[in-house]
Amino acid sequence: MRHWLMMLLVMAVATGALAQSGNSPATAQDIYPLATEAERERFDRLLNELRCPKCQNQNIADSDAPIAEDMRDEVYRMVKDGADEQTVVASMVERFGEFVHYKPAFDARTALLWLLPAIVVLIGLLVIVVIVRRSGNGGEDDGAHLTEEQRRQADELLRRQ
């Protein structure tokens, strides 16, 4: 009888937990109310464009890290005050470094990051061209490097067949 009561209690707790999980979680619009749809769209774009410094490859919209929450609060404040996207991104980059921006600007510090793929492709093409040129006529042997004695032996072997 105790087993049945215990099972009934566990089922009641589980059912209550499932019923509570059906409630929709608070959205960014609930937590960060903005006056216009344009501000909400700009806020959402910025949350998805900025990377959490702690989580490495997660934007601040999805991160639960305290630093991401602070960044969301700051972005909200700036958007509410009328700052444009470039100003907000520049402020976050100045404070946290270029890493927080998924699309880093092209400058002297990031030139290698942007140019490295093209450099690797060009080096690969150069290697292919060198290999093809060194192979000459595609590997076919016309017998030009044979001595006269070797040519005579080859001709004799061909005649026997």
Ranges of each domain in the chain: 26-100, 105-135
Task: Name the pTM for this structure.
Answer: 0.52
DSSP character at residue 27: P
E strands in 5-135: none
Using pLDDT thresholds of 50, 70 and 90, give the confidence band for residue 16: low
pLDDT of residue 22: 44
CATH of domain 26-100: 1.10.8.640
Return d(Cα 66, Cα 85) in angstroms, integer. 22
Contacts of 47 (CB under 8 A, 6+ apart): 28, 59, 60, 61, 72, 75
For range 114-133, the mean pLDDT: 92
Q: Using one digit for the tens of pLDDT, what is the confidence trace for 26-77?
A: 445 557 778 788 889 998 989 998 988 888 788 888 888 999 999 999 999 9
Confidence of residue 24 (pLDDT cuts 50, 70, 90): very low
d(CA 87, CA 93): 10
